[in-house]
Amino acid sequence: MQSLENHFLIAMPNMQDPAFKHSVTYICEHNEKGAMGLVINQPIDLTVGELLDQIKIDNDKQTDAANIAVFSGGPVQQEQGFVLHIPQDGYQSSLKLTNEVMITTSKDILIYLTTDLAPKKFFISLGYAGWSSGQLEEELMNNAWLTIKADPEIIYNTPAHLRWEKAIEILGIDISKLSSQKGHA
């Protein structure tokens, strides 16, 4: 099994599950036990500042960071927060995934998001996508997903509504020519 860590799963156009329709999912972990990722292109009607208000963390509404959208990272544990960010140490529960992506799940990062101590670039989501052992591999065999190596430019700098198209563009595929039919050579 080849690990898909630090890859994007791009939903095929025929994906009907509302949690994943036209989604791009950043895979944080993939091993024999299963996979975990964050959907990066489904903003919810909540900003970072509003989220911080809800959990009673002081924040500066005048900062650009306070107006950044919070995303639905997937259908599992939607009360759990995840922050993907440019690597920066100092948080209780962080894991460096690549030279450009770190994931933090501890609440301490939230205190800094609207301050000068915040990571220069970050993405925040509630919930995650999870697959049990063999489940993702089966979905891949059934042509539910396209995969590419993750591009931090898409996570941090591409507007959310363009991330699906941009990820497919990297593959050099014309979306209109993607078939919803399963095929095996």
Q: Which residues contact 7 (CB under 8 A, 6 or more apart)?
A: 26, 27, 30, 147, 148, 149, 150
pLDDT at position 173 is 81
Share of the chain above pLDDT 70, in %: 94
185 in a structural domain: no
3-class secondary-structure state, position 120: coil
Range of the domain at 167: 7-177
Is 120 inside any structural domain? yes
The stretch 52-66 carries a mean pLDDT of 93
- The mean pLDDT of the chain is 92
> Total structural domains in the chain?
1
* Domain assignment present for 1: no
Q: Which residues contact residue 56 at a Cβ distance below 8 angstroms, ignoring those fewer than 6 apart?
A: none
User: Is residue 79 included in any domain, yes or no?
Assistant: yes
- Which residue type occupies 61? K
pLDDT at 54 over 70: yes
* Residue 2 lies inside a defined structural domain of this protein: no
The per-residue pLDDT for 109 is 93
List the structure tokens of 68. 């950044």
pLDDT value for 2: 86
Task: Specify the 3-state DSSP secondary structure of 180.
Answer: coil
At residue 185 the predicted structure's pLDDT band, cuts being 50, 70 and 90, is very low
pLDDT tens profile 3-43? 999 999 999 988 889 899 999 999 999 999 999 999 999 99
More confident residue, 185 or 143: 143
CATH number of residue 165's parent domain: 3.40.1740.10
Does residue 153 register a pLDDT over 60? yes
Question: pLDDT-based confidence at 181, cuts 50/70/90?
Answer: low
168 falls within a domain: yes
* Share above pLDDT 90 across residues of the chain, in percent, rounded to a whole number: 79
- Within a domain: residue 130? yes
Q: What is the pLDDT of residues 98-146, one digit of tens each?
A: 999 999 998 899 999 999 889 999 999 999 999 999 999 999 999 999 9
Asked if 32 contacts 55 with a C-beta cutoff of 8 angstroms, the reply is no
Residue 180 confidence (pLDDT): 53
96: in domain: yes
This prediction has a pTM of 0.92
